[in-house]
Amino acid sequence: MIPAWNFSRRCSSNGLHLDRRCGVQDNWSRSVRRIVLHPVWLAPTEHVPKIVFVPSENFKLRRTTMKRIVSAFLALAVSAALVVVATNWKHSPRAVHAQSGCSVATLTGNYGVSWQGFDILIAGTHAVPWAGVGVLSVDGRGNVTITFTSALNGKISTGATGAGSYTVNPDCTGSLSFTSGDAAGETANIVIVGGGTEVLALSTLTTQTIMLDAKKQ
């Protein structure tokens, strides 16, 4: 129930002049009146009216414009993300796969060669440093020669030579072995790089730790 207020008038008199409802003539100059509030309870309505919002044309236009702005911003953000991903992919390191189809004919001509590492000259003693540079020549048929200058534990040797053979596998790995000259007894495993433009080698002697790099001249 909802309270409401009902205004009514009561009157009182000195006994001579009363309201007509009291049976005598009303006389405002002699009577004293009071205003009394009486609460009246009203039943609430059963249905509350709903307010329906009808957007105006200007509102629809602003909403459409806002959607277009948001869509354009999202498209720009996606484009920027794709550019970043493409740039990172371009500069990221790629997997290196073994070459195929190599043979002894892959290596021909002269190669500038250098090496460095350590060598044990006498069993049971400490390893000493060994480095050198030279020219490695291959004929494409499995034969190899070398002329070089080396520094072994501070001792310099110039005009040294060697000759031997090499093998190459289809996956561009292989071996190198010298059988004569100053380099006799030296052996190494090799890897061909760049279609024969470079050769990496590691000594296979148990008394040495030597890395060799040969680049085509």
Q: Are residues 19 and 115 in the same domain?
A: no
What is the per-residue pLDDT for 101? 85
Determine the Cα–Cα distance for residues 203 and 5; give it in Å rounded to an integer: 112
The pLDDT of residue 75 is 74
User: What are the tokens at 118?
Assistant: 């350590």
- Alpha-carbon span 191 to 19, nearest angstrom: 129
User: What's the per-residue H, E or C state across 85-103?
Assistant: HHHHHHHCCCCCCCCCCCC
Task: Using DSSP bridges, classify how beta strands 198-203 and 187-193 pair: parallel, antiparallel or unpaired.
Answer: antiparallel
pLDDT at 207: 95
Inside any domain, residue 128 = yes
In this prediction, residue 55 carries a pLDDT of 57
Q: Return the CA Rg of the chain.
A: 54
User: Do the domain assignments include residue 77?
Assistant: no
DSSP three-state, residue 104: helix
**What pLDDT is attached to residue 117?**
97
User: In the block, which residue shows the tokens 């409802």?
Assistant: 21
pLDDT, residue 51, reads 55
Residues 35 and 124 in one domain: no
Can you give the residue range of the structural domain that contains 38? 2-42
For 163-181, give the DSSP string: EEEEEE-TTSEEEEEEEEE
Q: What pLDDT does residue 82 have?
A: 73
Q: What pLDDT, on the 0 to 100 scale, is given for residue 61?
A: 63
Domain match, 186 and 108 both? yes
Is 115 in contact with 205 (CB distance < 8 Å)?
no
- Strand, coil or helix: 21: helix
pLDDT of residue 180: 97
Task: Look at the block and give the residue holding tokens 């009182």.
Answer: 12
Q: Is residue 133 part of a domain?
A: yes
Tens-digit pLDDT profile for the chain (217 aa)? 545 545 444 444 444 444 444 444 444 444 444 444 455 555 555 555 555 555 566 656 666 777 777 677 677 777 777 765 556 655 655 544 455 689 999 999 999 999 999 999 888 899 999 999 999 999 999 999 999 999 999 999 999 999 999 999 999 999 999 999 999 999 999 999 999 999 999 999 999 999 999 999 9
CATH code of the domain covering residue 136:
2.40.160
216 and 135 Cβ atoms separated by less than 8 Å: no
* Structural domains of the chain, count: 2
113 and 207 housed in the same domain: yes
Question: 109 and 206 share a domain?
Answer: yes
